Chain A
Amino acid sequence: MSTANPSSNPSSNLAADVIKLADLVASASLPPSDGYVMSDEERHEIEECLHHYDDNRAASIDALKIVQKKHGWVPDGAIAEIGRAIGIPAADVEGVATFYNLIFRRPVGRNVIKICDSISCYLTGYDEVRNAISAHLRINLGQTTPDNRFTLLPICCLGACDKGPVAMINDDTHGNLSPDTIPALLEQYK
């Protein structure tokens, strides 16, 4: 083998091995992009975001949100596609995706309930409201109903503390919640 190789220097062989190993690790640890095809619409929206920043990397969060808006979550294959679209490593996109709690790396239900568990809501009845939601939907925090209708997540202070307890359902903020009003409120979301 060393005769076939123009450079018989052992250190360069080592370097080649290292690169191979790195490729192996990268392909094993990164989500494959096959099976995910980014739509032209998504690609176009991501490209639009690039104008707002002096460096393309800044659009990574916007790009993740664009994909999430379409799919409800960020599928594995989208990570590498986003990396390609904005020109950063897929691992960096995954690092960002897993850091921020509003980016979902697992499927969620059609409606996402984000219930504030910070101090003002805690003082005004968070526990009772969360229990009422859990009892009505038969799910705990972090879970999705079997019919895929609701996911229940905790969230930090929503900045509506004068109306505690507060929860967001999708983009709507609901204040002054009480266990009695939960069934009717949830009924509005199909």
Chain B
Amino acid sequence: MTADLSETKPLTARIVPGRAPLNLKEYEAVGGYRAVRKALKEMTPADVTKAVKESNLRGRGGAGFPTGVKWGLVPSLEKAPGKRYLVCNADEMEPGTFKDRLLMESDPHQMVESMIVAGYAIQATRAYIFLRGEYIEAAKNLNAAIAEAQAAGYLGQDILGSGWSMDLHVHTGAGRYICGEETALINSLEGRRANPRAKPPFPAIAGLWGRPTVVNNVESLCNVPHIVNNGSAWFLGLNQGKSKDGGTKLYGCSGRAKKTGIWELPIGTTAREILEVHAGGMKDGLKLKAWLPGGASTDFLMPEHLDLAMDFDTIAKAGSRMGTGLLTVVDDRQNMVSVVRNLEDFFARESCGWCTPCRDGLPWTYKTLVAMEKGEGRPGDIEQLEKMTRFLAPGRPFCAHAPGAMEPLQSALKFFRGEFEATIKKIDQTTASHAAA
């Protein structure tokens, strides 16, 4: 059964709900650490990077940047001798996203193996898994897996006699969503406040402690051993022709659907299949009103968008982003002003405070929405919110945090303008009655 699953669901084939994760021996027995042996004994680091480039694996943290291309930006050892780092972004905090937790809690050796193969590709001297502090179980399981891998010679000095050495450490964070931004993550890992850094220089040139650094998402990395084992053509084929991106994707659904959860499916599966087949549709008596394709920082889409393929390019064409690929479904009992108020509360609270547009613009947005939610919206509020979406557009604030915050807002204003207008009419009546009295 495992063999069959590994053909179509490589990331989750070894995960059985309710069962403890495989230990080293069990993991090896089902082909685990084969990719480490193959990469270190039969492939050069450049070969590994080339295979990942050809697989068209795109970053699963939400941005969709090709993983192999990112690795290719790291200067060669001749040009930049010395220390270099691989960092796994395991700071999963995007509201509505719960996929990396599954991979790390339930198959920690896959994560460790991925770090070793990816670390080899960029010739990392040290690797870190930057894990959010609340993932207690993941930290426990990963540390146990690392200890086993270390004892078996997969980590440490002169790994499998290759002459290459790498240590792997789980660094647990202390909160703050902004740590998921890769340069903020690097600052946090250095023991600083997690303010993002200016780019360029990009981390591949000057990252952790000023050295070449690659930061990749958990799910992106977990694909790497399978690409090394089976080749890029196999990986591309996992999409079953549904997308031009390669591989599978962990899709999920949360909100008031019947069977919320997470499923590994060919990339490019439609949102309708995810919601209606896998999640069983909305709960009885509820209708789908809108949905976020992949986290709080993606634009709302509507029920008529459900037949879109969930891949980076298709969702971008529809005016949103696939993001992390886990749907959040909003039902018809919800008021969109309140829903957006909740989202902007999150973004305002999680602003790191580094740049003025974000630090001041997000609380302003939030306060405006709070007033509107109470029926105290004033004429001009909608226009002010629209201005915010322009002031906080990509390129204006220092990083992508505030632009991400504007995505659900701008799309809600577009699709549900009437609900926002209704909050202002009420105040008009109140003002009128006050005036009359």
When chains A and B are docked, how far (Å) is the Cα of A54 from the Cα of B124?
Answer: 13
Between A88, A103, A156, A163, the greatest number of chain B beta carbons within 10 A of the residue's beta carbon is seen for: A156
A119:B133 contact, CB within 8 angstroms: no
Whether A162 touches B92, Cβ cut-off 8 Å, given contacts A58-B190, A117-B342, is no
- Residue of A58, A62, A122, A156 near B177 (CB, 8 A) is A156
B345:A96 contact, CB within 8 angstroms: no
**Which of B37-45, B97-105, B364-372 lies at the interface with chain A?**
B97-105
- Residue of A58, A59, A171 near B136 (CB, 8 A) is A171
- Residue of A95, A118, A168 near B296 (CB, 8 A) is A118
- Residue of B175, B177, B253, B292 near A119 (CB, 8 A) is B292
A54:B209 contact, CB within 8 angstroms: yes
Task: Tell me whether A16 is interfacial, beta carbon within 8 Å.
Answer: no
When chains A and B are docked, how far (Å) is the Cα of A88 from the Cα of B192?
Answer: 11
Task: Tell me whether A130 is interfacial, beta carbon within 8 Å.
Answer: no
Task: Tell me whether B46 is interfacial, beta carbon within 8 Å.
Answer: no
When chains A and B are docked, how far (Å) is the Cα of A123 from the Cα of B96?
Answer: 11
Task: Tell me whether B426 is interfacial, beta carbon within 8 Å.
Answer: no
B174:A57 contact, CB within 8 angstroms: no
CB of B132 to closest CB in A, whole Å: 8
When chains A and B are docked, how far (Å) is the Cα of A143 from the Cα of B116?
Answer: 44
Q: Which residue of B lies closest to A101 (CB)?
A: B175
* Chain B residue total in the interface (Cβ 8 A): 56
B176:A159 contact, CB within 8 angstroms: no
Q: Which residue of B lies closest to A176 (CB)?
A: B260
- Residue of B96, B174, B177 near A103 (CB, 8 A) is B174
When chains A and B are docked, how far (Å) is the Cα of A112 from the Cα of B237?
Answer: 47
Q: Please, which residues of chain B bring their CB within 8 A of the CB of A57?
A: 190-192
Q: Please, which residues of chain B bring their CB within 8 A of the CB of A161?
A: 95-98, 252, 254, 260, 326, 328
CB of A123 to closest CB in B, whole Å: 5
Interface string of A99-112 (1 = CB under 8 A from B): 11111000000000
- Residue of B132, B190, B331, B346 near A55 (CB, 8 A) is B190
Task: Tell me whether B215 is interfacial, beta carbon within 8 Å.
Answer: no
Residues 103-157 of A contacting B (Cβ, < 8 Å): 103, 114, 117-120, 122-124, 155-157
Whether A156 touches B256, Cβ cut-off 8 Å, given contacts A57-B191, A96-B191, is no
Interface string of A44-62 (1 = CB under 8 A from B): 0000000011110111111
Residues 31-77 of A contacting B (Cβ, < 8 Å): 52-55, 57-62, 64-65
Whether A168 touches B134, Cβ cut-off 8 Å, given contacts A96-B193, A123-B256, is yes
When chains A and B are docked, how far (Å) is the Cα of A61 from the Cα of B173?
Answer: 7
A120:B95 contact, CB within 8 angstroms: yes
- Residue of A114, A119, A173 near B346 (CB, 8 A) is A119
A59:B191 contact, CB within 8 angstroms: yes
When chains A and B are docked, how far (Å) is the Cα of A55 from the Cα of B189?
Answer: 10
Task: Tell me whether A158 is interfacial, beta carbon within 8 Å.
Answer: yes
Between B93, B96, B126, B326, the greatest number of chain A beta carbons within 10 A of the residue's beta carbon is seen for: B96
B345:A117 contact, CB within 8 angstroms: yes
B134:A162 contact, CB within 8 angstroms: no
A100:B173 contact, CB within 8 angstroms: yes
CB of A55 to closest CB in B, whole Å: 6
B95:A162 contact, CB within 8 angstroms: no
When chains A and B are docked, how far (Å) is the Cα of A183 from the Cα of B260?
Answer: 26
Q: Please, which residues of chain B bring their CB within 8 A of the CB of A102?
A: 133-134, 173-175
Interface string of B63-83 (1 = CB under 8 A from A): 000000000000000000001
Q: Please, which residues of chain A bring their CB within 8 A of the CB of B252?
A: 161-162
When chains A and B are docked, how far (Å) is the Cα of A103 from the Cα of B254?
Answer: 29
Whether A120 touches B254, Cβ cut-off 8 Å, given contacts A159-B97, A160-B101, is yes
Q: Please, which residues of chain B bring their CB within 8 A of the CB of A114?
A: 134
CB of B203 to closest CB in A, whole Å: 15
- 18 A-B pairs whose Cβ atoms sit less than 8 Å apart in the complex: A53-B191, A54-B83, A55-B191, A60-B192, A95-B193, A101-B174, A102-B174, A118-B95, A119-B292, A119-B346, A123-B331, A155-B134, A155-B175, A156-B95, A157-B95, A159-B134, A160-B101, A164-B254
B interface with A by C-beta (< 8 Å):
83, 92-98, 100-101, 126, 132-136, 169, 171-177, 188-194, 209, 252-256, 260-262, 292, 296, 326, 328-331, 334, 339, 342-343, 345-346, 349-350, 352
Q: Which 3 A-B pairs have the closest CB atoms?
A: A161-B254, A100-B174, A118-B95
